[in-house]
Amino acid sequence: MGAYEAFYRRSIEEPDAFWAEEAKRIYWHKAPEVICDYSRPPFVKWFKGGETNLCYNAVDRHAAERPNDTALITVSTETNEEKRYTFAELQREVERMAAIYLSLGVRKGDRVLIYMPMIPEAAFAMLAAVRIGAIHSVVFGGFASASLATRIDDAQPKIMVTADAGMRNGKAVPYKHLVDEACALAKTPPEKVVIVDRGLDKGFPRIEGRDLDYATLRAQHLDASVPVAWVESTHPSYILYTSGTTGKPKGVQRDTGGYAVALAASMDYIFCGKAGETMFATSDIGWVVGHSYIIYGPLLAGMATILYEGTPLRPDPGIWWRMVEQYRVTVMFSAPTAIRVLKKQDPKYLKCADLSSLKHLFLAGEPLDETTHRWIHEALGKPVIDNYWQTETGWPMLAICRGIEEKPIKYGSPGFPVYGYNLKIFREDGTECGPNEKGIVGVLPPLPPGCLSSVWGDEARFISSYFSLFKEPLVYSSADWGIKDEAGYHFILGRTDDVINVAGHRLGTREIEEAVQSHTAIAEVAVVGVHDEVKGQLPVAFAVVKDPTLVETTQARQKLEAEVKQKVDELLGAIARPHRVYFVSGLPKTRSGKMLRRSIQALAEGRDTGDLTTIEDRSALDQIAEALKTQ
């Protein structure tokens, strides 16, 4: 048995002993009495009876031991600002923010809704909430007022923290204005709104009695000393809504102790990050990657973390790599989408910086196709680790745990079940699939520490959304298709609702996309199933080419379309061959970078595109409509 296999087995067979050991990574004000209370399946209470505090573990502990080490670096290529905070400085700022909360009547268990751009105050706002036992709910700053209003009504925050504006691609994006609209729409708007005025939206309107200026309040609490509130391990630390790729977002509720332990362990075993080093996760604090691996994970590990406001392409596509060089980043975390964007740029940008500090690049959020995985690995010359997880789980479910054993990487695969997750691939009758047999990814409960403890305010929805796949056995289902090969490497084949049913053959969109993408001219592709009288559904592809001159003429398009179909025939067989391949210059995605296949499918079937509040760029949909008409 290999080192990882032994480690994994112990986590599944002796979970109490395993997690009791890992729990020593964090400071407990009161030690846990029960490691795992699973007396009420599928609800689980990790480290019951224990008392701790997330902010204390992320900030105070390090501020006491290494006060002058860097904790937070914020970089904005939009406003050309850079700020650094040591652990001691970060603690001071967090205490000031916590004092503001207390002065506004925020108490343990109250919700604080944070709608912020990527500025230092966003980190202070999150840490200050958990410091006093309040529950934060960060909403991605970019959601429209209606999306924000639904989340306000679900979380019912006592106060909100926002900024006048964010910046994207050189343009100011008004935040405060959207907050006003959302509060007008909401049934339970917050009592107070604290605004960080960046001077980007001059003269924004203020509502007397409700709106408060952060700088003014901070000045009143400069010397604030706010002790941490020790909370039960099971006390909610935050609510975070899922990305909404497949419909109405769910409010994922996270505990405190289990989350801290799970993240601290993952920083070591999965991300190989050490105190004193720097981590750069290119996500946004509005997503789970932002919570776990911009804010809490690296800080718990005593690392410096980078908060980045900007895009991967401005001022030029070399920006991220120069940041790696400048801050000596050792751990970098991004998304396949971003890498596909970079793949379309001149490769010289990857060579322009000294990347010697970087140990690994981690990618998650969407299937990482083999071609992109290979490309980025070869371009960087560093191991690129795909890892599969969800807002719900809070930390990786599938990965290669290089901190335990350096198993070889297989392109296109996020590797093996991570310790703690009894993850299996299931047939639709609830039995387990054999090697190379496609099925649904599921986890036998109890879920390990760090995963969602419930759906906020709706225990019934927790069970119906996640545990009702089979009558027997009880399985946490993540609604994704997967497959495991003979060597135990797993592959995610797409979402269970992204399946194309061609004449009774069920094809995952991912498989076809992977085949299309293996054509060297293609940078990115979305495949959807379109209704067909005869076959039920037909796959239709929308592809972005690396070089637009390749599809300038009808003739050129037809040639490339034929080649792409040929490629799919070769790799998957004619059954999977796209009925049509349309060429576009961009694809519609959610703000978190996930393909909006259901909207593309709706257009291709001549239906209404439905709820588009989470879309990044509406013009991508117009292009699809145009291509459907003209190509």
Q: Which residues here bind ligand ATP, judged by CB under 6 A? A: 242-246, 249, 364-368, 386-391, 414, 478, 480, 492, 495, 592, 594
Task: Specify the residue, 325 or 616, whose C-beta has the smaller distance to ligand ATP.
Answer: 616
Closest CA to 388 of 489, 280, 241, 512: 489
Name, in order, each residue with C-beta under 8 angstroms of 573's C-beta and a sequence gap of 6 or more.
none
Give min distance, CB of 526 to ligand ATP, in A.
14
Task: Specify the residue, 195 or 443, whose C-beta has the smaller distance to ligand ATP.
Answer: 443
Taking a C-beta distance cutoff of 8 angstroms, is the pair 242, 390 a contact?
A: yes
Task: Specify the residue, 48 or 136, whose C-beta has the smaller distance to ligand ATP.
Answer: 136
Task: Specify the residue, 217 or 339, whose C-beta has the smaller distance to ligand ATP.
Answer: 339
Q: Given its phi and psi angles, is residue 197 left (phi above 0), alpha (psi -120 to 50 degrees) or beta?
A: beta
**Residues listed for the chain:** 631
Question: How many Cα atoms sit within 13 Å of 213 on the Cβ side?
Answer: 12
Task: Specify the residue, 165 or 493, whose C-beta has the smaller distance to ligand ATP.
Answer: 493
Give min distance, CB of 142 to ligand ATP, in A.
15
Q: Which residue has the tokens 């289902």?
A: 477
Task: Specify the residue, 75 or 281, whose C-beta has the smaller distance to ligand ATP.
Answer: 281
- The CA-based dihedral angle spanning residues 159, 43, 469, 391, taken in that order and rounded to the nearest 10 degrees: 40
| Alpha-carbon span 95 to 419, nearest angstrom | 35
Give min distance, CB of 245 to ligand ATP, in A.
3
Q: Would you state the structure tokens that stand for residue 630, as one six-digit string?
A: 């003209």
| Alpha-carbon span 581 to 567, nearest angstrom | 12
| Alpha-carbon span 180 to 41, nearest angstrom | 41
Quickly count: other Cβ atoms within 10 Å of residue 256's Cβ: 29
Give min distance, CB of 455 to ligand ATP, in A.
12
Task: Specify the residue, 96 or 340, whose C-beta has the smaller distance to ligand ATP.
Answer: 340
Task: Specify the residue, 150 or 592, whose C-beta has the smaller distance to ligand ATP.
Answer: 592
Q: Compute the Cα dihedral for 189, 195, 200, 203 and give only its sign.
A: positive
Give min distance, CB of 390 to ligand ATP, in A.
4
Taking a C-beta distance cutoff of 8 angstroms, is the pair 484, 440 a contact?
A: no
Backbone angles phi, psi at 84, to 5 degrees: -130, 145
Give min distance, CB of 143 to ligand ATP, in A.
13
Give min distance, CB of 375 to ligand ATP, in A.
16
Q: Would you state the structure tokens that stand for residue 305, as one six-digit string?
A: 């973390």
Give min distance, CB of 477 to ligand ATP, in A.
10
